[in-house]
Structure 1
Amino acid sequence: MTRVVTRRRAVARLGAFALAFGVLVVGSLSQAQEGTRIRPGTEQAVAGSSVTLVEEVPVVRPDFPVPDETGMLFYLQRSTNSNTIVYVANFRDDGTLDPDEPVVAYWRRFNTTGERKALKMVEDNFAFGVRAQATGDPNVFKLYVVSYPERMATLKLVEPGRAEVTATAGERTFRPLYAYVDVNEDGLMPSVREVRVMGRDLATGKALVERIQIE
């Protein structure tokens, strides 16, 4: 019985984190819509979202380490612990994006040793993995998180060895920097309270915050 409950909790936790990330990191890249269902296997849905411009990018958890990775595009923090998922651009020797895998996602286990760890297969295929689609331009790719493929962002090579992701929230085009998922673990099944996506508005240069409320 303990093993079954533990497995259910693990699946619920994965589903909550996966869909929070899918809808609210890349999903937010086209502003979250009220009523959007958080999937899979949960009754949670997006209650609403708002986009605000601020002077400085908020630091939600000053006690959490911030990853400093070569080619980093954005990262994901969760309220549960400081372990962080990092998304980096993957370059070939000539500085162009690798068309077979332009983005690589992995853990930084800040809650323990800080070591880099690959995503597990289930995490990569159903939760935090990113997939890229080629466009007519070899230096531009469309990106989506596997847990929410309907929403896309754009990856573009800026110069050899440097790439950026851009996205939209409401009427704003911005460069996402990181997301923070506020998780409620009080009950048997973990749930998402709110997700904040922090970025930089391209039109004004100001920091941008999208807050997505979950019910």
Structure 2
Amino acid sequence: MTNLSFPLLKRVLIIIILFIGFCDVSVFAQTADKSDPSPLKFPVPKGISNQLFYLQRDPNTNTIICELNVDKNGVVDRKEPILVYWLRYAEKGEQEDLSYIQRKFAYGIQTKELAKDQFELRFVSHKKLPMYLQRGEDKKFHVFVTVNQKKVQIERIFVRIEGGSFWLPNVKYVEIKGVNTENDAVVTERIKV
């Protein structure tokens, strides 16, 4: 195998892992809301006290939760400031850890401490988009990202899949929903893949 083919192979592997992580029989469930670009009706995770944001994608409602990792005194774990796990809505909403492959190649988050209570975060599958865990104006921790020249406090990330195959899904775009820190407006910014 030549060095030129390795980046393509790595990209295909990441897409496969992302797709496998969400597969179930409810792939083509329909929703009555025609404004939703996805054929699925996604639940909104509730009751997670330290939730920072969540990630959802086609083809099912299983959801990745990204939660602040603090000790009993509320101090952030500097080695692992963020916990990432599933809420398996397609399987009665049970919580489940990421598999080794999902953690290392798809949904795991690499962290780098920048200063006290400030961390750079990057998904292992998409390292080009840095996110930042830090305190907001409300003194609570949030994750921020700059997309389309807007600083956004992330609430939800959505990955849209349209067709393709089990081994090579057709990723159309990623949407980041959150609050524009400049004017506190709720925004949804789309990134084409």
TM value normalised by structure 1: 0.68
CA distance in 1, matches of 2:18, 2:98: 15
Change (3 A) 1:59 1:82: same
Q: How far has the Cα of 1:150 moved from its partner?
A: 3.6
Contact 2:85 2:95 in 1 (8 A): yes
Q: Which moved more, 1:123-132 or 1:162-171?
A: 162-171
CA distance in 2, matches of 1:165, 1:119: 20
CA distance in 2, matches of 1:15, 1:83: 12
Contact 2:173 2:191 in 1 (8 A): yes
Contact 1:13 1:191 in 2 (8 A): no
Q: How far has the Cα of 1:187 moved from its partner?
A: 3.5
Q: How far has the Cα of 1:70 moved from its partner?
A: 1.8
Secondary structure at 2:90 match in 1: coil
Q: How far has the Cα of 1:210 moved from its partner?
A: 1.2
Aligned to 1:100: 79
Contact 1:73 1:177 in 2 (8 A): yes
Change (3 A) 1:94 1:158: farther
1:23-80 C-alpha deviation (Å, 9 max, x unpaired)? xxxxxxxxxxxxxxxxxxxxxxxxxxxxxxxxxxx97668321112121111111120
**Counterpart selection for 1:198 from 172, 177, 186:** 177
Gaps in structure 2 of 5+ consecutive residues? 1-11, 22-34
Aligned to 1:37: none
1:145 partner amino acid = F
Normalized per residue, the structure richer in strand is 2
TM value normalised by structure 2: 0.75
Q: Following superposition of structure 1 onto structure 2, how do residues 1-20 of structure 1 map, counting pairs within 5 Å?
A: 12-14=15-17
Change (3 A) 1:101 1:203: same
Q: How far has the Cα of 1:169 moved from its partner?
A: 1.3
**Counterpart selection for 2:122 from 125, 144, 161:** 144
CA distance in 2, matches of 1:17, 1:150: 22
Q: How far has the Cα of 1:212 moved from its partner?
A: 2.3
Contact 1:96 1:139 in 2 (8 A): no
Q: How far has the Cα of 1:97 moved from its partner?
A: 0.7
Q: How far has the Cα of 1:13 moved from its partner?
A: 2.9
**Counterpart selection for 1:176 from 148, 154, 166:** 154
1:141 partner amino acid = F
Q: How far has the Cα of 1:11 moved from its partner?
A: 6.7
Contact 1:108 1:115 in 2 (8 A): yes
CA distance in 2, matches of 1:204, 1:126: 35
Fraction of identical pairs, as percent: 27
Change (3 A) 1:192 1:204: same
Q: Following superposition of structure 1 onto structure 2, how do residues 1-215 of structure 1 map, counting pairs within 5 Å?
A: 12-14=15-17, 63-68=41-46, 69-135=48-114, 137-157=115-135, 162-187=140-165, 189-214=168-193
Secondary structure at 2:62 match in 1: strand
CA RMSD for the aligned pairs?
A: 2.8
1:127 partner amino acid = A
CA distance in 2, matches of 1:124, 1:130: 8
CA distance in 1, matches of 2:42, 2:183: 28
- Give the structure, 1 or 2, with the largest relative contact order (CA under 8 Å, sep 6 or more): 1
Secondary structure at 1:111 match in 2: helix
Q: How far has the Cα of 1:114 moved from its partner?
A: 0.4
